[in-house]
């Protein structure tokens, strides 16, 4: 496993060179790839420069978000799917092969089964393109009960349900984006993680939950830095991933308003320090 900066997850923006510098000074070991920027550099014949920029700073490539709208209208989905092969080819040349995305745990119009079949079909098409270019797709379940309340139709919201979808997609390159927040709010256990095979985990998010709030009352966008409150068993979570042999990126996603209001370098330093503390706590 390696500590990975997903800059947007802590409210930090910039071009690739700026983000690489932030990741390095923050003590991270990797940085997610902006696939749009990478594609632009590829068009200009500058892909080797991206590889060199990472290597010069001793950083690894994390992942790149699935750039396909599979949740809405068919036309938008097909447009995104048509662009995916070119982007996946760029990522393959760079050796950045982990592609995470998230799944809404409800739908206002589609029943569970209708929504399931739509996700299976559309994500299968995406996963096949990714497979053709040596990439794997990571699917994140969204756990909080508060996300599903008052919604017409509930959808997948825990690890067993998402693993079933991964298997049913059937392309052999689909696993989990495992977020400790959603693991906690879905009442997941350490044993759930140790039962996984390493290839079933594509990408990992870490964070913490506010203290004094019952688990079923936690609200998705109200979180804390990893290890900040101790509500989530981050040591058990990380040690379980280490036990199964997960070797990919671990990115903080605290959804912290105060981080977003800080100068970028300060936000990166504070987040990097939090990652160092949980790494030490888990003996990594």
Query: Which structural domain range is residue 120 located in?
Result: 2-281
Q: How many domains does the chain have?
A: 1
Q: Would the pLDDT of 207 be above 90? A: yes
Share the mean pLDDT of the chain.
96
Half-sphere exposure of 103 (CA within 13 A, CB side): 31
Using alpha carbons, select from 113, 192, 189 the residue that is nearest to residue 155: 113
Does residue 261 carry a pLDDT above 90? no
Give the tens place of pLDDT for each residue, 111-127. Answer: 999 999 999 999 999 99
CATH code at position 41: 3.20.20.150
Q: What pTM value is reported for the model? A: 0.96
Q: Is the pLDDT of residue 45 over 90?
A: no
Most confident of 34-48, 213-227, 253-267: 213-227
Query: Is residue 256 over pLDDT 90?
Result: no
Residue 126, class by beta-carbon neighbours within 10 Å (0-12 exposed, 13-18 middle, 19+ buried)?
buried
Tracing tokens 């930090």 back to the chain, one arrives at: 12
**What is the structure's pLDDT at 164?**
98
- What is the pLDDT at residue 6? 96
Q: Distance (Å, rounded) from C-alpha 247 to C-alpha 242?
A: 8
SS3 of residue 14 by DSSP: coil
């Amino acid at each position: 496993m390696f500590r990975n900066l997903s800059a947007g997850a802590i409210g930090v923006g910039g071009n690739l060179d700026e983000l690489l510098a932030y990741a390095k000074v923050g003590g991270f070991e990797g940085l997610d790839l902006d696939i749009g920027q990478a594609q632009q550099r590829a068009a200009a014949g500058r892909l080797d420069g991206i590889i060199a920029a990472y290597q010069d700073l001793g950083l690894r490539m994390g992942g790149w978000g699935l750039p396909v709208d599979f949740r809405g209208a068919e036309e938008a989905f097909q447009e995104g799917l048509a662009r995916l092969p070119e982007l996946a080819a760029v990522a393959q040349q760079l050796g950045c092969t982990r592609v995470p995305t998230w799944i809404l745990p409800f739908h206002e119009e589609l029943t569970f089964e209708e929504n399931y079949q739509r996700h299976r079909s559309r994500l299968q098409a995406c996963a096949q393109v990714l497979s053709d270019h040596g990439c794997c797709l990571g699917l994140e379940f969204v756990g909080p009960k508060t996300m599903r309340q008052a919604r017409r139709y509930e959808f997948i919201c825990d690890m067993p349900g998402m693993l079933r979808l991964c298997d049913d997609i059937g392309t052999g390159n689909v696993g989990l984006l495992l977020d400790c927040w959603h693991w906690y709010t879905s009442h997941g256990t350490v044993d759930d993680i140790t039962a996984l095979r390493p290839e079933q985990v594509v990408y990992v998010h870490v964070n913490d939950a506010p203290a004094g709030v019952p688990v079923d009352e936690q609200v998705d966008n109200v979180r804390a830095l990893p290890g900040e409150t101790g509500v989530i068993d981050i040591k058990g979570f990380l040690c379980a991933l280490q036990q199964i042999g997960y070797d990919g990126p671990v990115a903080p996603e605290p959804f912290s308003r105060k981080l977003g209001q800080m100068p970028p370098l300060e936000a990166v330093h504070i987040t990097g320090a939090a990652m160092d503390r949980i790494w030490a706590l888990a003996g990594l």
